Amino acid sequence: MNQQEWLEKYYQGLEGYTVIATSIDSFGFPVLLMQKGTGGMRCVEVSRDEEGNGPGFLFGLPNPKTEEN
C-alpha cells in the first residue's frame, strides 16, 4: 500500500461521524469530538508543523491495515 492509498483509507475512518464539539488543546491544536449515530465517539486532533510546510494531519483515527498486516 503506497502513502496515497494509506491516507485515503485512514481518512475513511471519519465517514459517518458528526462533529459534536470542538476545543483547543494546551498546545494550541484544534480538537474535534465526533460521534457516529448514537454509538462510537472519536476524538480527532488537527496537527501541522509550525512552519506550515506541509499538509495538515488528523490524529486519532484507526490505523488502516497495510498489505503486510
Output the tens digit of pLDDT for each of the chain's 69 residues: 898 999 899 999 899 999 999 998 888 888 999 999 888 899 998 887 766 676 778 888 888 876 543
Answering whether pTM is above 0.85, one says no
Contact in structure between 6 and 68 (CB atoms under 8 Å): no
How high is the pLDDT of residue 43?
93
Q: Which three cell numbers stand for residue 22?
A: 470542538
How high is the pLDDT of residue 69?
39
